[in-house]
Amino acid sequence: MCLAMPARVVELRDDDQAVVELDGVRKEISLALIDAPGVGDYVIVHVGYALSKLDPDEAAKTLALFAEMQALGASA
């Protein structure tokens, strides 16, 4: 199963590259598929590519759901 995750852009690099952070983990990704990303923006990341920008409120809701699922899985 493949899953696209919201992550926050923390650094812009040359050649449409950026560093994103999710739950303390940083990863370099490509921004080639989206327009005008900026530091602090949330993006949906799938297999190393940002697919779209995401509203910060929606990103927070999605990340909260993932955290809840993880907590439920840990207690099972």
What pLDDT was estimated at residue 30?
98
**Where is pLDDT greater, at 75 or 14?**
14
Q: What is the mean pLDDT of the chain?
A: 92
What is 7-68 written as a DSSP string? Answer: EEEEEEETTTEEEEEETTEEEEEE-TTSSS--TT-EEEEETTEEEEEE-HHHHHHHHHHHHH
Domains within the chain, CATH numbers bracketed: 5-75 (2.30.30.140)
Q: What is the rounded distance in angstroms from the CA atom of residue 65 to the CA atom of residue 11?
A: 26
Give the tens place of pLDDT for each residue, 39-55.
999 999 999 999 999 99
**Closest Cα partner for 50 from 22, 71, 76?**
22
**Closest Cα partner for 41 from 62, 26, 20?**
20
